[in-house]
């Protein structure tokens, strides 16, 4: 196998309440992408391009927006993160490891026998996983269930639930049942973030099952619904933080590109569920390392912490 550069230490994860700026979050997103390439190169299976498209969203959530405590994963007041697109588990695993939910070294055991890092998130195996996911369409309904349970516990005002969906989720009827029910029950602490990367196993989303205007669909059900560039970190943070202030469920439709950050993979069909070859993994790590170096130089020039 081609030699892979090690993933660098991105500096300690932020403490609860610490606010990282956009440039720092972009750096974390690059580090998470490097972890994903490294994991899948070792595992020789998995969904790399689907993980890369969600990296900016996941970095913004885990390193700025989510209220969570790795030392107390079951803290009752914590926010909940539900990865409905469970096939992108590597990007969540990378974020959890960087926060110390488990050793970073565990990432190299992805999809191996005896590892707690299975191909899809498993709440019974991995610290920090709220629900087991993988079958598309279920995540939004489960997130609504969590919101209703928080209401019964009197925690609707403190604990927010963020569900990350895929375009494939939006092709499933259960997603829209969940959207209708969330509006009916007027849950203010639910945010659906749609990683709309336009590519699936068999072709483009439009070819497989055109979902039309997803933002308008959520709005029609009574949600606060906006559409943003899912790789614009400033826009992502602004939208996520705004969603916490609303009195109804919020949908953030993020226009993204599959394979984001790796030029030979970005927006190209044919990489879904296909791990990189040793040569591709090495090329991807070289490109991401160059991105990281440029980000470090920019942070150093601005006096930021790199």
pLDDT tens readout for residues 172-205: 999 999 999 999 999 999 999 999 999 988 889 9
CB 4 within 8 A of CB 92: no
Give the C-alpha separation, 59 to 94, whole Å.
10
Six-digit token string for 21 = 């700026």
**b/e 221-252 (16+ beta carbons within 10 angstroms → b):** bebbbbbbebbebebbbebbeebeeeeebbbb
Q: DSSP strand E in the chain: where?
A: 80-83, 161-166, 190-196, 199-200, 203-204, 224-229, 250-255
Average pLDDT, the chain: 93
3 versus 208: the higher-pLDDT residue is 208
Average pLDDT (19-25) is 94
User: With bands split at pLDDT 50, 70 and 90, how would you rate the model's confidence at 4?
Assistant: low
Q: How many residues can be counted in the chain?
A: 306
User: With bands split at pLDDT 50, 70 and 90, how would you rate the model's confidence at 304?
Assistant: very low
Task: State pTM to two decimals.
Answer: 0.94
Question: Could you state, in order of their start, the residue ranges of all structural domains in the chain?
Answer: 22-262+275-301
Six-digit token string for 281 = 């993994």
pLDDT tens readout for residues 249-290: 999 999 999 999 999 999 888 788 888 999 999 999 999 999
pLDDT for res 67: 97
Query: Could you tell me the maximum CA-CA distance found in the chain, to the nearest angstrom?
Result: 54
Average pLDDT (31-49) is 96
pLDDT tens readout for residues 146-164: 999 999 999 999 999 999 9
Q: What CATH number does the domain located at 22-262+275-301 have? A: 3.40.50.970
Q: Looking at the predicted structure, is the pLDDT value of residue 294 above 60? A: yes
CB 264 within 8 A of CB 280: yes
């Amino acid at each position: 196998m081609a030699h892979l550069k090690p993933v660098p230490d991105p500096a300690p994860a932020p403490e609860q309440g610490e606010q990282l700026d956009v440039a720092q979050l972009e750096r974390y997103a690059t580090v998470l992408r490097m972890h994903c390439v490294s994991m899948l190169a070792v595992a020789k299976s998995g969904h790399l391009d689907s993980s890369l498209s969600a990296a900016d969203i996941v970095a913004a959530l885990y390193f700025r927006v989510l209220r969570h405590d790795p030392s107390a994963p079951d803290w009752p007041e914590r926010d909940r993160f539900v990865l409905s697109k469970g096939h992108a588990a590597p990007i969540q695993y990378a974020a959890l490891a960087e926060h110390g939910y488990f050793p970073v070294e565990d990432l190299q055991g992805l999809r191996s026998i005896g590892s707690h890092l299975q191909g899809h998130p498993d709440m019974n195996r991995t610290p920090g996983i709220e629900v087991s996911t993988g079958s598309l369409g279920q995540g939004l309904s489960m997130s609504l269930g969590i919101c209703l349970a928080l209401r019964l516990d009197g925690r609707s005002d403190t604990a927010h639930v963020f569900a990350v969906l895929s375009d494939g989720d939006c092709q499933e009827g259960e997603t829209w049942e969940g959207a209708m029910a969330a509006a009916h029950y007027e849950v203010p602490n639910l945010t659906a973030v749609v990683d709309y990367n336009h590519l699936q196993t068999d072709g483009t989303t439009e070819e497989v099952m055109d979902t039309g205007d997803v933002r308008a669909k959520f709005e029609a059900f009574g949600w606060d619904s906006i559409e943003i560039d899912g790789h614009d970190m400033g826009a992502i943070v602004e939208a996520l933080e705004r969603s916490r202030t609303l009195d109804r469920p919020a949908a953030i439709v993020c226009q993204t590109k599959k394979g984001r950050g790796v030029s030979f993979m970005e927006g190209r069909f044919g990489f879904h569920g296909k791990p990189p070859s040793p040569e591709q993994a090495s090329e991807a790590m070289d490109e991401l390392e160059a991105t990281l170096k440029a980000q470090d130089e920019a942070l150093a020039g601005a006096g930021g912490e790199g």
